[in-house]
């Protein structure tokens, strides 16, 4: 009985601890540190990730996605794209099926993502602010989401 009560008490305490530990979390939009991009609006970010071409001079924004980080992707879809994961994937599939529009390339690791951004001067990606701060090969364009 006592063990059960302890478990019930531990769960909310643990959740509170996790919430507090992530109070400084933020998701940022980044590009390669050598790239020419300096300011991309939230609207253009949303367009680029929805398969709508966003011109920058004579070039087009090239969005990259980060796979294997469920929380990061969930935050990005909710706060920037404003769609459920299924609706978003269907939208990208539909654009590809109808017009051959390329889907944002999805990469599995931070290292691969940074490599892609280094090679694509007009490439953009989203990542945790802590990861961006720790890597000199990327620069932050804007904060997309901040834990309150």
Residues that bind another protein (CB under 8 A): 43, 46-47, 50, 52-55, 59-60, 62, 82, 84-86, 89-91, 93-94, 96-103, 105, 119-120
Q: Are 42 and 27 in contact (CB under 8 A)?
A: no
Phi, psi of 135 (to 5 degrees): -125, 115
- Taking the complex as a whole, the smallest distance from the CB of residue 125 to another protein amounts, in Å, to 15
Considering the complex, state which of residue 98 and residue 148 has its C-beta at the smaller distance from another protein: 98
Phi, psi of 61 (to 5 degrees): -60, 140
- Taking the complex as a whole, the smallest distance from the CB of residue 132 to another protein amounts, in Å, to 23
Nearest residue to 111 (alpha-carbon basis) of 61, 66, 145: 66
Considering the complex, state which of residue 82 and residue 143 has its C-beta at the smaller distance from another protein: 82
Considering the complex, state which of residue 82 and residue 130 has its C-beta at the smaller distance from another protein: 82
Report the alpha-carbon distance of residue 27 to residue 38 in Å, rounded: 17
3-state secondary structure (DSSP) of residue 23: coil
- Taking the complex as a whole, the smallest distance from the CB of residue 70 to another protein amounts, in Å, to 12
């Amino acid at each position: 009985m006592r063990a059960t009560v302890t478990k019930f008490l531990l769960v909310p305490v643990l959740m509170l601890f996790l919430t507090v530990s992530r109070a400084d979390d933020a998701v940022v939009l980044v590009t390669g540190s050598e790239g020419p991009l300096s300011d991309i609006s939230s609207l253009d970010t949303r367009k680029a990730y929805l398969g709508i071409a966003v011109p920058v001079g004579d070039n087009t924004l090239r969005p990259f996605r980060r796979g294997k980080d469920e929380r990061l992707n969930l935050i990005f879809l909710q706060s920037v794209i404003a769609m459920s994961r299924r609706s978003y994937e269907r939208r990208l599939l539909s654009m590809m099926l109808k017009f051959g529009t390329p889907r944002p390339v999805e990469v599995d690791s931070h290292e691969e993502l940074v490599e892609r951004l280094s090679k694509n001067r007009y490439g953009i990606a989203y990542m945790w602010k802590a990861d961006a701060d720790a890597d000199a090969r990327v620069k932050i364009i804007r904060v997309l989401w901040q834990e309150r």
